């Protein structure tokens, strides 16, 4: 173990990398087939004229949530929820949202947009995201002990917040997502 650790200092082991690549290829294929690599589809969602992005996300969450919690109940997987705080997730989320609308892609779909040949994503957006991430790294020492810690709640999940069994949250959330999708279809969106 120690030997591989020193050898793979800058690059992780090959099976890990190949699985990442394989999953990414499937993910990118699906995003492109769904239209999520396109500016028009993403901005259409934000302008509330095209609900493709929401339909993809909600059906992914519905499917993923049920499967992941079933596998968790069976002891096959462990969850890995991100820690957060009001300062992180509300302010960061709103900043992200502004960028989402101005750019018209997000960090995952911009990789797909690059594969799709969209040069505004490659020449403009990608360079911008790298600069923005670098800017955050530069400011991180000043933010980390202040605003990012405001209203901290750790890696809390909804079942732990309500002190209930996972399924007491999974089932109603699944029903709500299903009803929302059903309603979107009924409304002709």
Partner 1 sequence: MLELLTQTRWSPYAVGIGIGILSWLTFLISKRPIACSTTFAKLSGMIEMVFRGDKVEQKPYYQKLRLVVGWQMMLVLGIVIGSLLSALVSGDFRWQWVPPLWAAASGSSPLLRVGVALLGGVIIGFGARWAGGCTSGHGISGTLQLAVSSWISAVCFFIGGILTAHLIFRLIGQ
Q: Is 172 in the site for partner 1 (CB under 8 A)?
A: no
Q: Is 119 in the site for partner 1 (CB under 8 A)?
A: yes
Q: Is 167 in the site for partner 1 (CB under 8 A)?
A: no
The token duo for 172 is 């109603």
Q: Is 176 in the site for partner 1 (CB under 8 A)?
A: no
Helix/strand/coil for 141:
helix
* DSSP for residue 188: T
| Phi, psi of 80, rounded to the nearest 5 degrees | -140, 60
CA dist 22 and 45 (Å) reads 28
CA dist 97 and 94 (Å) reads 5
The token duo for 160 is 């732990």
Residue 174 Cβ vs partner 1, minimum distance, rounded to whole Å? 10
Q: Is 90 in the site for partner 1 (CB under 8 A)?
A: yes
Q: Is 179 in the site for partner 1 (CB under 8 A)?
A: no
Whether residue 27 contacts residue 150, with contact meaning beta carbons closer than 8 Å, is answered with no
Q: Is 80 in the site for partner 1 (CB under 8 A)?
A: yes
Q: Which residues, at least 6 apart from 100, have a Cβ–Cβ distance to it below 8 Å?
A: 42, 46, 106
Residue 1 Cβ vs partner 1, minimum distance, rounded to whole Å? 17
Helix/strand/coil for 187:
coil
Q: Is 171 in the site for partner 1 (CB under 8 A)?
A: no
Q: Is 2 in the site for partner 1 (CB under 8 A)?
A: no
Among 7, 149, 156, 183, binds partner 1 (CB under 8 A): 156
Whether residue 50 contacts residue 41, with contact meaning beta carbons closer than 8 Å, is answered with yes
Residue list 15-74, contact with partner 1 (CB under 8 A):
16-40, 43-44, 46-48, 52, 55-65, 67-68, 71
Q: Is 189 in the site for partner 1 (CB under 8 A)?
A: no
Pick the closer one to partner 1 by CB: 1 or 98.
98
Q: Is 158 in the site for partner 1 (CB under 8 A)?
A: yes
């Amino acid at each position: 173990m120690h030997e591989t650790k020193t050898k793979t200092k800058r690059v992780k082991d090959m099976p890990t990398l190949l699985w990442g690549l394989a999953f990414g290829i499937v993910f990118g294929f699906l995003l492109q087939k769904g239209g999520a690599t396109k500016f028009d589809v993403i901005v259409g969602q934000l302008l509330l004229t095209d609900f493709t992005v929401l339909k993809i996300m909600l059906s992914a969450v519905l499917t993923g949530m049920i499967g992941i919690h079933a596998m968790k109940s069976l002891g096959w997987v462990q969850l890995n929820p991100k820690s957060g705080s009001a300062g992180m997730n509300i302010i960061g989320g709103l900043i992200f949202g502004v960028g989402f609308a101005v750019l018209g892609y997000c960090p995952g779909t911009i990789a797909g947009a690059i594969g799709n040949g969209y040069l505004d994503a490659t020449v403009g957006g990608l360079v911008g995201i790298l600069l923005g991430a670098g800017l955050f790294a530069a400011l991180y020492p000043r933010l980390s002990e202040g605003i990012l810690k405001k209203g901290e709640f750790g890696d809390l999940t909804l079942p732990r917040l309500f002190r209930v069994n996972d399924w007491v949250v999974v089932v109603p959330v699944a029903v709500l997502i299903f009803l929302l999708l059903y309603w979107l279809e009924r409304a002709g969106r």
